[in-house]
């Protein structure tokens, strides 16, 4: 991502260089003959064409800046760690939707949901601690075997 200030500067430079290119194509006129000034003479169609090009360039730059801002916001949201209560709600909603889910599926789902710069081992610990707390409070129960645990939410 480029710096927005640099992008605006590049846009101004591009527009200035476009106008300089067309100044030399005009005819002598209006000024005194010894001044050597060149007066730009453009038809309405040429002027409209230049305005369209400038507007397209400005619109593209504005859209790129907006897209960059949205992308930065999404990245920040993705990296922002959730609170323990948020994880509890996500986990409980998951169990309500899929009663009798296996521990393997719980781990797969929750590993995707846990944000932050945690290692895989730390994420597994977080899931275990979350499940232990809910189990001790009587909110979830394992009704499967040790080999194939099945977890249910208790209302």
| CATH number of the domain encompassing residue 108 | 1.10.10.10
pLDDT at 19: 55
Region 32-52 average pLDDT: 69
DSSP state of 81: P
Indicate yes or no: pTM above 0.85. Answer: no
Name the domain count of the chain. 2
Using a 10 angstrom Cβ sphere, with 0-12 exposed, 13-18 middle and 19 or more buried, the burial of residue 109 is middle
* Spatial separation of the C-alpha atoms in residues 57 and 37, rounded to whole Å: 29
The whole-angstrom separation of Cα 97 and Cα 126 is 21
Instruction: Tell whether 100 and 40 lie within a shared domain.
Output: no
At residue 11 the predicted structure's pLDDT band, cuts being 50, 70 and 90, is low
Residue 6 has a pLDDT of 56
Q: Are residues 68 and 95 in the same domain?
A: no
Range of the domain at 15: 4-79
Domain termination site, one of 79, 95, 119: 79
DSSP structure string for 86-102: HHHHHHHHHHHHSTTEE
User: Could you tell me if 151 and 101 are in contact, meaning their C-beta atoms sit under 8 angstroms apart?
Assistant: yes
Final residue belonging to a domain, choices 50, 79, 108: 79
């Amino acid at each position: 991502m480029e710096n927005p200030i640099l992008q605006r500067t590049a846009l101004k430079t591009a527009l200035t260089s476009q106008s300089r290119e067309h100044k030399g194509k005009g005819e002598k006129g209006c000024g005194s003959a010894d001044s050597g000034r060149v007066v730009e003479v453009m038809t309405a169609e040429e002027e409209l064409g230049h305005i369209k090009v400038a507007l397209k360039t400005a619109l593209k730059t504005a859209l790129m800046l907006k897209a960059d801002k949205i992308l930065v916001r999404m990245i920040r949201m993705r990296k922002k760690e959730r609170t323990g209560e948020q994880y509890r709600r996500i986990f409980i909603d998951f169990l309500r939707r899929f009663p009798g889910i296996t521990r393997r599926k719980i781990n797969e789902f929750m590993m995707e949901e846990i944000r932050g710069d945690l290692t895989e081992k730390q994420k597994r610990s977080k899931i275990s601690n979350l499940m232990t707390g809910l189990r001790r409070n009587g909110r979830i129960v394992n009704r499967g075997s040790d080999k194939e645990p099945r977890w249910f939410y208790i209302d």
